Amino acid sequence: MDRSNARTVLAVDDEEAVLTLLTHQLSNLRCVFIPTSSAAEAIHILKTREVAVLLCDLNMPNIDGNTVLAVAREQNPNIVPIVISGNTDHNAIIRAVNEGGIWKYITKPWRRDEVVGLVGEAVAR
């Protein structure tokens, strides 16, 4: 697949198994997929690359997902942020909506067709 004009999708989650699953599930989408388990690396990528879609966990060690979402919005107001989290902390979700401008929230575990459909739609935006 020619990905020279493909949009970039960045996924950040401290669980490697989640990143591996996302990499597999999204492999057929027309996008450049960058997985990272480091919120600091995600922030660096957001500051140095054009990212169209951000998949982000809220509950991560050291730097939480809301910090990553805020940087993403600051760097690119048109980014499409999707939270993928098992976190049920309503205050964190409210912060994600208000500060990160999240487009969708997907709870872990998710259905494959749900995540593929949403990311495909987000890439098209």
- The predicted-structure confidence for 40-92, as pLDDT tens digits, reads as follows 999 999 999 999 999 999 888 889 898 999 999 999 989 999 998 876 677 77
What pTM, to 2 d.p., does this model score? Answer: 0.89
Q: What is the number of alpha carbons within 13 Å of residue 62 lying toward its C-beta?
A: 9
- The predicted-structure confidence for 5-16, as pLDDT tens digits, reads as follows 679 999 999 999
pLDDT at position 1 over 50: no
Between 15 and 4, whose confidence is greater? 15
The pLDDT value given to residue 5: 63
The region that residue 62 occupies, defined by phi over 0 for left and psi between -120 and 50 for alpha, beta otherwise, is left
Beta bridge partners of 19: none
